Structure 1
Amino acid sequence: MTTRMTTGITRMSLENARVLMVTDCNPQSQLFIDYVRQQLDCQVSALSTQESFVPPADRKVVVLLDADHVDENCMHLWNSRASESPEMILAAFNLRDDEHAAELLISLHLQGVFYRQDNLLLICKGIAKLLEGDLWMSRNLMTRLIDFYRRQQLNAYRPVCGLTHRELEIIGLLGTGASNTEIADQLFVSEHTVKSHLYNIFRKIKVHNRIQAMNWARQNLGAPPMTSLRSARKARTS
């Protein structure tokens, strides 16, 4: 006999809540959905990465991004949606470890983190806490985040490896995965100028390629300016 999990959330608030899994829709994910629905007694459904979703304005929605099936670009798209919808609570599951979670948290506003080794009952408890308005992260991960943002505060008051303001703009855009052409369009400069700046940036931060520079930017400069780049792309395609 299955016992429904007891949480601090009232039955009424659960009935008005929704859990949405963004994943590969298959029999295994359906079993997970059925379990969460039974434990929390709220609406639970799955959505593939290709399907669209309009968040309801009158209820909280916990969106669970499956790291095994949702790529980085799709995660950033959901992050943008969540920033425009105060009722949407973004979380990721099937993460490998704290290192994997920390990488995502640099550029995503995740309020919950679940790992591959987490059992289903623990995940349900975490979802319930998210619906209550709490964060759901390990103590070790929270400590790492606090240390990271402390370093960010220090960097705000001193030059970063001697990079100029324009070089910081360029490497910030590089951290979003932007091409040289996109960076040039965003900053209203030529591609030759971007290449010259990148050469100087690589030399100053002691990296040899774009991937290393992107990782350096995400570790040392914080969340990249996704909004401004996204706006520029939208303007060019409209």
Structure 2
Amino acid sequence: MNVKAQKKKGPPDSPSKSRILIVGPNRLQNELLAGFLEKETGLPCTFSSELDEEAIGTESPCTRMILFDCRGTGLEQLWAMIESGPTLDPAGCRIALFNLDPDTGMEKEIMDRGIHGIFYMGEPVDMFPRGVKAMLDGEMWYSRKALSKRIMEPGKGSTASIAAANILTSREKEILIGIASGASNEDIAQELSISPHTVRTHIYNIYKKINTSNRLQAMLWVAKYL
């Protein structure tokens, strides 16, 4: 099960102006995946062995989703490809990894680098269009297990942790812990015996105080400071 973050502010990309790009060396696999995604999402989907200007394209429809194939490509090699390739606008172009070995234990680094989602090796193919649509809609696509592992890591620096925690009220901390555990607004409301509307108000105030805009960022804040 994947945990989705709340949508970011701003209108979603127009489907008619979006394009999906698959980058990786496995031509046959990626050609089949491109055809499947194009059929299921209704968006044009292309594939390339390299991330370059030609692959990204400069004309409409714009590339709004890039899927990097991790099979046969180490993460360090992948980071080098992204950093040396064309400049990507993180606000306008979603980036995800697929064929990631679930035993690598690299989710923390992947999240910290701003990658929007992960599809693990052997994951059912019908998860791809669901995840792609969610990410194009401004959401994140990570498994609950990956998020839980990230959140359970101890925070850094006791002084900074105390200072950060002090900006929140006791009730806001309770709600933030609920968010970090993957609970919905309705679940949090029931647990704390308050209305969902009150929960939404608290979450709005929490986001302003800790300078975040979605549930995933709030989860990472908890992992660092609480």
Normalising by structure 1, we get a TM-score of 0.52
Matched, 1:74 2:78: yes
State the Cα RMSD in Å: 3.2
Distance 1:83 1:19, change over 3 A: closer
Whether the 8 Å CA contact 2:51–2:81 is kept in 1: the answer is no
Match for residue 127 of structure 2?
122
Q: C-alpha separation between the residues in 2 aligned to 1:134 and 1:84?
A: 16
Q: Aligned residue for 2:156?
A: 152
Structure with bigger helix share is 1
Gaps of 5+ in 1: 1-11, 159-221, 223-238
> Does the CA-based 8 Å contact 2:20-2:65 persist in structure 1?
yes
Name which of 148, 152, 157 aligns with 1:143: 148
C-alpha deviation, 1:13, in angstroms: 2.9
Q: Closer, same or farther in 2 for the Cα pair 1:79/1:143, shift >3 Å?
A: farther
Is contact 2:51–2:82 with CA below 8 Å preserved after alignment?
A: no
Shift of 1:14: 2.3
4+ residue segments displaced more than 3 Å: 50-60, 79-85, 98-101, 152-158
Question: C-alpha displacement at 1:21, in angstroms?
Answer: 0.8
Q: Secondary structure at the match of 1:15?
A: helix
Rounded Cα–Cα distance in structure 2 between residues aligned with 1:153 and 1:55 = 44
1:37: which partner in 2? 38
Alignment of 1:41-56 (within 5 A): 41-49=42-50, 51-52=52-53, 53-54=55-56, 56=58
Q: How many residues align?
A: 147
Amino acid at match of 1:151: G
Alignment deviations for residues 42-79 of structure 1 (CA, whole Å, 9 cap, x no partner): 01011213644446597451111111143323324426
Report the residue type matching 1:78 in the other structure.
I
Instruction: Name the residue aligned to 1:178.
Output: none
Q: How does 1:64-213 map to 2 (within 5 A)?
A: 64-71=67-74, 72-78=76-82, 84-97=89-102, 99-102=104-107, 104-105=109-110, 107-148=112-153, 151-152=155-156, 154=158
Any gaps of 5 or more consecutive residues in structure 2?
1-12, 163-223
Shift of 1:95: 0.9
Are the equivalent residues in 2 in contact too, given 1:60–1:131 (CA < 8 A)?
Answer: no
Secondary structure at 2:20's aligned position in 1? Answer: strand
SS at match of 1:24: coil
Give the match's secondary structure for 1:120. coil
Higher RCO, Cα 8 Å, sep 6+:
2
Q: Deviations over 1:77-129 (max 9, x none)?
A: 42676664421111100011164441542652111110112111111111110
Return the letter of the residue paired with 2:129.
Answer: C
CA distance in 1, matches of 2:144, 2:58: 32
- Partners of 1:50 and 1:124 in 2: CA distance: 22
Contact 1:18 1:62 in 2 (8 A): yes
Amino acid at match of 2:22: M
SS in structure 1 at match of 2:94: strand
Which secondary structure does the structure 1 equivalent of 2:142 belong to?
A: coil
**Aligned partner of residue 42 in structure 1, secondary structure:** coil
Q: Using the TM superposition, give the Cα deviation of residue 154 of structure 1 relative to its aligned residue in structure 2, in angstroms.
A: 4.3
Give the equivalent residue in structure 1 for 2:29. 28
CA distance in 1, matches of 2:73, 2:104: 18
Aligned amino acid, residue 21 of structure 1: I
Aligned to 1:63: 66
